[in-house]
Amino acid sequence: MIVGIDISKDWFDAAWQVAGRIRSQQFTYTAEGIEQLLEQTSVEAIFVMEATGTYHTRLALSLFEAIGAKTALELIVVTNGFTRFEDIKALCAYIGVSPTTFRSGSSVRGKGGIAKLGQGRIRQLLYLCTWTARTCNPACKQLYQRLQTAGKPPKVIGIAIAHKLLRQAFAVATKNIRFSPEFA
């Protein structure tokens, strides 16, 4: 099933074919409207949307598994529609999910961690998304299993998955393509 979507600021129009007949409907551009669209289309649906402005980004990220509408909206606000950062490393550092090292001279090393200088709220939302991602997102599931086998603590695994989710969301938003588990 292919679903064509035309997006504006307050609503979006969707059209798809069911049993040989074209069906179209207008939805409010809210989390409820996106949920209504997902309920009426199949899981295998391919969503095609006009990407002329920045309105499509929220819907594209909402269709991305493991990141819901609330996290998608927060990411769009924090990144100004994913135009504030040119590369993913800068965004990860800003959000605070990038790993850091602690060094003092050449012989003394401390314990590393994450850079907590960034946006705590979005980091929290991404961390909560990891609970779903480690079961439904194949790349995150694989990362979870690999780090768990290596004996990493649960919070370290969670931040690593949040980092992975942020990278996936950045790719979906900046390349204007639908999320595909094959390329995650």
Residue span of the structural domain in which 113 resides? 74-178
Q: Within a domain: residue 1?
A: no
- In angstroms, the CA 3 to CA 142 distance is 30
107 in any annotated domain? yes
pTM over 0.75: no
Do the Cβ atoms of 131 and 137 come closer than 8 Å?
Answer: no
Residue 150 binned pLDDT confidence (cut-offs 50, 70, 90): very high
Instruction: List the beta bridge partners of residue 25.
Output: 14
Please report the pLDDT score of residue 148 as a whole number: 92
Mean per-residue pLDDT, 95-112: 70
Q: Is residue 13 part of a domain?
A: no
| 34: in domain | no
Query: Is residue 159 assigned to a domain?
Result: yes
* pLDDT class of 168 with cuts at 50, 70, 90: confident
Which helix (H) or strand (E) is 139 found in, with range? helix 138-149
Mean pLDDT of 67-80: 76
Tell whether the model's pLDDT for residue 105 goes beyond 80: no
What is the structure's pLDDT at 52? 59
Q: How many domains does the chain have?
A: 1
pLDDT exceeds cutoff 70 at 107: no
Q: Give the span between the Cα atoms of 57 and 75, in whole angstroms.
A: 10
Per-residue confidence (pLDDT) for residue 109, from 0 to 100: 64
Q: Is residue 57 part of a domain?
A: no
165 within domain boundaries:
yes
Q: At a CB cut-off of 8 Å and minimum separation 6, what does 26 contact?
A: 11, 12, 13, 14
